[in-house]
Amino acid sequence: MRRVVITLCLGSILTACGATAAAPSPAAPSPAASVSAASAKPVASVSAPVAASAKPASLGSAAPASPAASTAASAPANAKTVAVGTFPQAYINWPLVVGDKQGYFSAAGLKVDTKELPAVSTLLQALSTGQLNVVMTTPDTSMNAIYSGAPLTYIAVNQRPSTIDLLVSSKINSFADIKGKTLGVGQRDSSYSLLAEQMLKANGLDSSQYQFFYVASEPDRYVSLQSGKIDGAFLGPPRNFQAVGEGFHSLGLVNQYIQHDEYNGFVVNAPWASQNKDTVVVFLKAIAQADTWMEDPANKDAAIDMFQAYLKLDRPLVVQSYDLMITKLKAFPPDLKIDPAAHQAWIDNFVSRGVFTKPAPPLSKFVTDTYLQAAFGTRIPELG
């Protein structure tokens, strides 16, 4: 009975947050509606094993692309399996690729079973029902699910800051040119759309002067931009660089307009994590090893080769992604330390919009430092 109640609550809040693609208003280009609908699976298939639908591009499927990649070892026979959910061909997956190919997971006694699904609703439902153990997602999506009663908690950062870029058609040369245009973002009320709003507001545009079209999958947003169904799209590496190479214009990164920007992290099924604390701790340590290895300039070429083999895109695009995300922004912090101010900003945002009722829930409702403390001795005083 408890499991059913949680599932229903989670389904409600995810639907409210745009888990299913929102229908555009009449001004939106109608052909793109099919893209949105196709990329945002409804939350109906919770009872079915997530593995049955999670086959877009398993992280383990990419062939080793360099001698360094070949250091990956088979998981030991007694390895602990960790089912990790994430998004297809996403740049946030770089540490998972490295952890697998460099053998950090197998050395820690882990078999990381990665499932890639395009909709956060499906990922979080599978996490809530125990089909997944860990999901990589943004703080806001996990907060909404937790607030609704899902047995989840956010335990560590994966990427900080965001690397979302605003790409627009060659006819748009400034923010002023966006007036009356349609821009592709992620799901309604998602971090993509809310961060995008902040960027546009900082450049003198209010929400009445443009239209958002919600396309949950980044690959689908890119296709919509290429086809001309939308005038611009918020994209991350390497697709932002691919778009520039095809003649689209970049109006800059969203993170320039955000003071506290923790883009995504590791969210766990809380009961599973509590019962498997040692497994969670060695998983985080292996991720930290991957992040440290990636940041070493001596490993740049090997890291690029690994991710190129996974993405199956031209190498120069992955080189540009590395230079931005790892060399310039240090986007995968090896300490995995949570920024409490970034999470508090989301709580305040939800309270101000009436998504959370007053008084504001405490930060500790959504975040724990239990596993960071065990792995690295890291405490977050704001959690009490």
pLDDT of residue 76: 77
pLDDT of residue 73: 53
CA dihedral of residues 169, 174, 180, 182 (deg, nearest 10): 40
Q: Where in the chain is the domain with CATH 3.40.190.10?
A: 51-160+265-383, 165-257
Burial of residue 181 (CB within 10 Å: 0-12, 13-18, 19+) is middle
Tell me which CATH code domain 51-160+265-383 carries: 3.40.190.10
Q: What is the pTM of this model?
A: 0.79
- Which CATH superfamily includes the segment(s) 165-257? Periplasmic binding protein-like II (3.40.190.10)
Secondary structure (3-state) at 119: coil
Determine the distance from the C-alpha atom of residue 203 to the mean position of all C-alpha atoms in its chain, rounded to a whole number: 25
pLDDT by residue, tens only, the chain of 384 residues: 333 333 333 443 333 333 333 333 333 332 222 222 223 332 222 223 343 333 334 454 333 333 233 334 577 788 999 999 999 889 999 999 999 999 999 999 999 999 999 888 899 999 999 999 999 999 999 999 999 999 999 999 999 998 989 999 999 999 999 999 999 988 776 677 778 888 999 999 999 999 999 887 788 899 999 999 999 999 999 999 999 999 999 999 988 888 788 999 999 999 999 999 999 999 999 999 999 999 999 999 999 999 999 999 899 999 999 999 999 999 999 999 999 999 999 999 899 989 999 999 999 999 999 999 999 999 999 998
Nearest one of 309, 308, 331, 286 to 102, comparing CA atoms: 286
336 contacts 91 by C-beta, under 8 angstroms: no
- The C-alpha atoms of residue 283 and residue 314 are separated, in whole angstroms, by 30
Beta bridge partners of 136: 266
